[in-house]
């Protein structure tokens, strides 16, 4: 992904990308997005865009594996996060969901992942330290809580599911306060043109709607033009 496309994707919200994917695919029905309401640590931050580096965690109980096994996997996790293709996004499934208690994302972990050059994190799990999270590293999470519980990495580098969205290692993810989408690999080279077309088409309605004297007749004319442009 070149810098121009990355800049564009960071400048638009996730609903825009969701709509643009349908424009690029030429039909409705795209379903590679999260379901339900998620929380964003910095709702005003630009969108998070990156190639997914995936893992699974658990925190409800002490791990049953030997401590050295847990530590080895933890170090492998951090190595994967540090060396993933950039821009990168940590996508971490908490397997305790919907009963997550362990805040994996806090002051320390966001600082570490940001230090690795990552763009942010997407999780169905818990975040904390809301006033002290690393600036410029948005976390889109399932909940907020005070404790880390017995949090530990259980798996890495495999497909994960976050709020109904399955993410595979290397998937291109776009996320913000609305949730997240996976941009299909086969339309990445068309997504910029699709965003431009979608925004131009929407302006056919938005322009008149925001002008003085807007009424049903003007709406009907604008909507007719909108329907012709989007088909």
In-domain check, residue 172: yes
Are 92 and 171 within one domain? yes
Are 177 and 197 within one domain? no
Are 155 and 205 within one domain? no
**CA 221 to centroid of chain Cα atoms:** 37
In-domain check, residue 103: yes
In-domain check, residue 195: yes
Are 204 and 177 within one domain? no
Contact 21, 30 (CB under 8 A): yes
- Cis check for the bond before 87: say yes or no (omega within 30 of 0): yes
Give the strand pairing for 139-141 and 121-123. parallel
Among 163, 183, 203, which residue terminates a domain? Answer: 183
Full pLDDT tens readout for the chain, 231 residues: 899 999 999 999 999 999 999 999 988 889 999 999 999 999 999 999 999 999 999 999 999 999 999 999 999 999 999 999 999 999 999 999 999 999 999 999 999 999 999 999 999 999 999 999 999 999 999 999 999 999 999 999 999 999 999 999 999 999 999 999 999 999 999 999 999 999 999 999 999 999 999 999 999 999 999 988 875
Q: What is the DSSP letter of 44?
A: T
> Which residue bears the tokens 């795209």?
30
Residues near 112 by beta carbon (within 8 Å), at least 6 away in sequence: 78
Domains in the chain, number: 2
Are 113 and 217 within one domain? no
Are 137 and 172 within one domain? yes
SS3 state at 231? coil
In-domain check, residue 23: no
In-domain check, residue 135: yes
Are 62 and 176 within one domain? yes
In-domain check, residue 14: no
Quote the tokens at residue 82.
């540090």
The CATH number that applies at residue 148 is 3.50.30.40
What is the enclosing helix (H) or strand (E) of 163? none
Are 176 and 195 within one domain? no
Contact 156, 72 (CB under 8 A): no
In-domain check, residue 5: no
Are 141 and 116 within one domain? yes
Are 116 and 207 within one domain? no
> Which residue bears the tokens 């996004």?
89
Are 89 and 161 within one domain? yes
Among 146, 166, 183, which residue terminates a domain? Answer: 183
Q: Can you give the residue range of the structural domain that contains 92?
A: 31-183
Q: Which strands sit side by side in the sheet containing 143-144, from one edge to the other?
A: 103-105, 126-127, 143-144
What CA–CA distance (Å, rounded) separates 59 from 30? 33
Buried/exposed 181-194: b ≥16 CB within 10 Å, e otherwise: bbbbeebeebbbeb
Among 149, 166, 183, which residue terminates a domain? Answer: 183
What CA–CA distance (Å, rounded) separates 167 from 108? 25
């Amino acid at each position: 992904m070149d810098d121009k496309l990355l800049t564009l994707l960071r400048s638009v919200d996730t609903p825009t990308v969701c709509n643009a994917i349908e424009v690029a695919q030429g039909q409705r029905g795209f379903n590679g997005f999260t379901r339900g309401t998620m929380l964003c640590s910095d709702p005003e931050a630009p969108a998070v865009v990156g190639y997914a580096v995936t893992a699974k965690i658990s925190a409800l109980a002490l791990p049953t594996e030997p401590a050295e096994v847990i530590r080895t996997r933890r170090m492998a996790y951090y190595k994967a996060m540090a060396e993933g293709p950039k821009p990168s996004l940590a996508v971490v499934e908490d397997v305790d969901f919907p009963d997550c208690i362990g805040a994996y994302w806090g002051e320390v972990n966001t600082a570490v992942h940001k230090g690795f050059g990552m763009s942010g994190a997407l999780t169905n799990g818990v975040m904390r330290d809301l006033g002290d999270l690393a600036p410029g590293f948005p976390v889109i999470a399932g909940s907020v809580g005070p404790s880390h519980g017995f949090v530990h990495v259980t798996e890495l580098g495999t497909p994960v599911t976050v709020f109904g969205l399955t993410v595979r290692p290397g998937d291109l993810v776009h996320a913000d306060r609305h949730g997240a989408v996976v941009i299909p690999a086969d339309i990445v080279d068309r997504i910029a043109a699709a965003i431009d077309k979608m925004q131009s088409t929407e302006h056919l309605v938005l322009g008149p709607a925001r002008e003085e004297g807007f009424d049903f007749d003007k709406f009907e004319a604008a909507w007719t033009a909108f329907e012709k442009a989007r088909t």
